[in-house]
Structure 1
Amino acid sequence: MILVLAGTADAREVIGTLKAGGYRVAASAVTAYGARLAREAGADTVQEGPLGGEDLLAFLKDQGIRAVIDATHPFATTITGAARQACQNLGLPYFRYRRPEVKLPSHPNLLLAGSLEEAAELASRGQVIFLTTGTRHLEYFTTAPALAGKRLVVRVLPEEASLARCRQLGIWPGDIVAIQGPCSYELNQALYRQFKADVVVTKDSGTTGGVVEKIQAALDLGLTVVVLRRPPEPDSLPLEDIIPLLGEALGR
């Protein structure tokens, strides 16, 4: 059985390709939505909820996992690190899926940030900051001195945990946009106009994440866009390279 660390739309393609190749597939996803995507893709078994550290090691052993394909979000560095370590401990093949990257346009209003701290600093150029970076690191913006007194509008998944996190950090209901992306160019523009945003902050999360539409919609409105660079993953591979390497590792 192959474990796919899922939770993203990319994982559907990974699971589907593995099933078409005759593999049995287990999938792990933190959210109910990610688990649903994995089931719809044909995973034989799906583990819903956080899976890391000792729990991950136990799952790998109990399920007889022979290899792991990590198709989590490009910024999900915690689970990626835990999976690498677990596979190393058990001597299992580990493959990091590389989500197709976005070719960012060259534009004076597009600013690149190498860290969350830098993203918050760059975002302070505006008064209404539209955040599309999720809730995992939202406190970097709500506590940034440079953003004190600014209005933060946060686009998040329509999950109870996401909404609770926003409220915990002081984001008012009127500044929360709970919607499942990716959003179209037209919807992005409508949201920016509705909230009178002058800065949009996003992650370089690849084509699957709707980044192109978010960025272009903002630039065409004359807004400043701050893009958080994705963490480097020099050993990540596209799916077409992973499949033959997987077969080789398993003697197929």
Structure 2
Amino acid sequence: MILVLAGTLDGRELAMRLAASGYDVLVSVVSDYGRSLADAPGITVHTGQLDLNGLRELITSRSIKAVVDASHPYAVNVSLNAMAACAASCAKYIRYERDEVITPAYDRLYRAGDAAEAAKLAAGLGKVIFLTTGSRTLKIFKTEPLLTGCRLIARVLPQPDVLAECIALGFSPGDIVAVKGPFSHQLNVALFTEYAAEVIVTKNSGTVGGADTKISAAVELGLPLVVIGRPDVEYRNLCRTQEAVLALLT
């Protein structure tokens, strides 16, 4: 059986490709919402957060021969745990990750190594900060002293737990944009304009993650753009295509 850590759209598509190719596939997702997206013929779904021990137990109990790590490009701990669990259990580890978007030559583009650096950079660029970095980094921006007095707009998934987290962090309902992507260039332009954004903060999550249209919208509007770079992880068996993954499994 193949275990696919499918925290992304392209990860779920890969899982379906593997199932169609004749593999027994177990997909791991965190939430019930993720389960509803991953549920497909020929695929078994495991729901729930897995730490290192949980991954090791799952690999052993399900006789997993290979783990395809298709988690989000910024989900570092998931990947590190997966590599460690595979090393401990002798299962093969394969990393499947989308390419980054090639950023344009834009004199208002600023690069940050992580969310904490991005928060500090954004503070010096404007007073209305539109965050498209996902819910897990929101606390970093809300607790950055340099952003005190700035208006932070959070674009997040419309899930009850995510919205509750936003409220708990102090976001007012008028500063929460709860919509599921992907977002077109035109919709990004409209949202950035509607909220009078002065700074856009994003991650380079690839075309599948909508980074290209966020970047192009910011450029069209002439807005400062802070791009958080991908974590520096030394992956084993890194694949950029489904075909490359299939080749390693055969």
Alignment gaps of 5+ in structure 2: none
Matched letter for residue 37 of structure 2: L
**Residue-by-residue CA offset, 1:207-243 (whole Å, 9 max, x unaligned):** 1101110111111011111000011244322232221
Query: What is the distance in 2 between the residues matched to 1:8 and 1:230?
Result: 15
Q: Please give the residue correspondences for 1:4-15 in structure 2 after superposition, counting only pairs within 5 Å.
A: 4-15=4-15
What residue is the counterpart of 1:209 in the other structure?
209
Counterpart contact for 1:199–1:224, Cα < 8 Å = yes
Instruction: Give distance in 2, aligned partners of 1:63 and 1:16.
Output: 19
Q: Structure 2 CA distance, aligned partners of 1:60 and 1:234? A: 22
Q: Which among 235, 245, 249 is matched to residue 248 of structure 2?
A: 245
Shift of 1:53: 2.3
- In structure 2, distance between residues paired with 1:202 and 1:210: 10
Matched letter for residue 63 of structure 1: R
For residue 47 of structure 1, give the secondary structure of its aligned residue in structure 2: strand
* Structure-1 residue corresponding to 2:177: 177
- Cα distance in 2 for partners of 1:37, 1:2 equals 18
- TM-score (norm. length: structure 2): 0.94
Q: Report what 1:250 is aligned to.
A: none
Provide the C-alpha distance between the structure 2 equivalents of 1:115 and 1:157, rounded to a whole number of angstroms.
21
- Deviation of 1:33 after TM superposition, in Å, equals 2.9
Partner of 1:230: 230
Aligned twin of 1:28:
28
Q: Which amino acid aligns with 2:131?
A: L
Partner of 1:122: 121
TM-score between both structures, scaled by the size of structure 1: 0.94
Tell me, which stretches of 5 or more residues in structure 1 are unaligned?
248-252
User: Which residue is 2:66 aligned to?
Assistant: 67
Runs of 4+, deviation exceeding 3 Å: none
Distance in 1 between the 2:116 and 2:19 partners?
41
- Between the aligned partners of 2:24 and 2:244, the Cα distance in structure 1 is 19
Matched residues in 2 for 1:241 and 1:33: separation?
29
Alignment of 1:79-228 (within 5 A): 79-124=78-123, 125-228=125-228
Instruction: Kindly provide the CA deviation profile for residues 26-66 of structure 1, in whole angstroms up to 9, marking residues without a partner as x.
Output: 000112232222213x4521011212222222211111111
Conserved? CA contact 1:7–1:73, under 8 Å: yes
In structure 1, the partner of 2:53 is: 54
Secondary structure at 2:67 match in 1: strand
Local SS of the residue matching 2:201: strand
Aligned 8 A contact 1:158 1:180 in 2: yes
Superposition deviation, residue 168 in structure 1: 1.2
The residue that corresponds to 2:39 in the other structure is 39
